[in-house]
């Protein structure tokens, strides 16, 4: 066997074609459904992120819809699914202190459909006033439900015009909100509903009367106020 023979053997070996599998692997097209699934996954992720971080400002109040990431500030008032929660040392300290004390969920923000935050009461009021004036019904409903946990006369006054709203969801939210306030036990200087009643004008009183809440309003002198005083 000479070197020429070896070179011939090598040249012959170099003529071998790669198996068809190599070509198939190189030029394999990814099925369309993989691309579609990738696009869908990306869109879903984007939607989740945008949904969770979508923050608007209404009347100076931070309005966070379906937050997945807590952004609670120390003195924020939070309204979670119409239930008011207070973070930090605020004028409505939730029993037990922290926000989670009033929610069974480990993280109320995870299950919340709505979180309102406001640095103080006046900002909360301003924000809710702006919120109930929003054209979006879901925003108005959420704001009205939040008003039902304020236990302030201004909250009932704010909800009252919506008790006859043509939208049944808004109407129901307003009525439940007002009922929650006037039916709450109160014996508190801060929340003097009797004095407030006296300040109402005729139309407002009529509105409450029609809703059959006057009795609850007038009887509401026993027990403790929801604010804890």
Partner 1 sequence: MVSPAPTLEEIYARHARAVWAYARAHAPRPDLAEDLAAEAFLVLARRLREAGPPESPLGYLLATVRSRAIDETRRRRPGPLPEGLSSPAPGDAGRRERVFAAVRALDPDLAEAVALRSLAGLTWEEAVRESGVPRSTLEGRYAAALEKLTQILKDERP
Binding residues (CB under 8 A) for partner 1: these are 1-3, 5-19, 21-23, 25-27
Q: How far is the CB of 23 from partner 1 (least distance, A)?
A: 7
Q: Which is nearer to partner 1, 15 or 198 (CB)?
A: 15
Q: Which is nearer to partner 1, 38 or 195 (CB)?
A: 38
DSSP string for residues in the chain = --HHHHHHHHHHHTTPPPPHHHHHHHHPPPPHHHHHHHHHHHHHHHHHHHHHH-EEEETTEEEEES-SS----TT-EEEETTEEEE-SS-SSPBTTBSGGGG-SSS-HHHH-SEEEE-SSHHHHHHHHHHHHT-S-HHHHHHHHHHHTTT-SHHHHHHHGGGGG-SSHHHHHHHHHHHHHHHTS----STT-HHHHHHHS-HHHHHHHHHTT-HHHHHHTTSS--TT--
Q: Which is nearer to partner 1, 14 or 106 (CB)?
A: 14
Q: How far is the CB of 8 from partner 1 (least distance, A)?
A: 5
In angstroms, the CA 121 to CA 147 distance is 12
Q: Which is nearer to partner 1, 22 or 43 (CB)?
A: 22
Q: How far is the CB of 3 from partner 1 (least distance, A)?
A: 5
In angstroms, the CA 69 to CA 176 distance is 29
Q: How far is the CB of 20 from partner 1 (least distance, A)?
A: 10
Q: How far is the CB of 18 from partner 1 (least distance, A)?
A: 4
Q: Which is nearer to partner 1, 23 or 51 (CB)?
A: 23
Q: Which is nearer to partner 1, 4 or 104 (CB)?
A: 4
Q: How far is the CB of 9 from partner 1 (least distance, A)?
A: 5
């Amino acid at each position: 066997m000479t070197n020429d023979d070896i070179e011939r053997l090598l040249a012959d070996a170099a003529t071998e074609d790669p198996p068809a599998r190599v070509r198939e692997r190189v030029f394999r097209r990814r099925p369309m459904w993989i691309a579609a699934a990738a696009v869908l996954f990306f869109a879903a992720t984007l939607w989740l992120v945008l949904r969770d971080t979508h923050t608007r400002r209404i009347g100076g109040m931070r309005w966070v819809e379906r937050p997945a990431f807590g952004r609670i500030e120390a003195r924020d008032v939070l309204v979670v699914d119409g239930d008011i929660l207070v973070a930090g040392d605020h004028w409505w300290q939730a029993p037990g202190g922290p926000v989670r004390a009033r929610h069974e969920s480990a993280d109320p923000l995870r299950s919340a459909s709505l979180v309102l935050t406001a640095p103080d009461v006046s900002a909360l009021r301003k924000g809710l006033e702006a919120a109930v004036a929003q054209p979006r019904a879901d925003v108005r409903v959420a704001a009205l439900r939040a008003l039902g946990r304020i236990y302030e006369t201004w909250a009932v006054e704010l909800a009252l015009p919506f008790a006859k709203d043509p939208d049944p969801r808004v109407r129901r939210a307003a009525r439940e909100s007002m009922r929650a306030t006037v039916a709450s036990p109160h014996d508190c200087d801060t929340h003097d509903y009797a004095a407030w009643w006296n300040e109402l004008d005729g139309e407002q009183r009529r509105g409450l009367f029609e809703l059959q809440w006057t009795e609850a309003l007038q009887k509401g002198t026993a027990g403790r106020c929801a604010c804890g005083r």
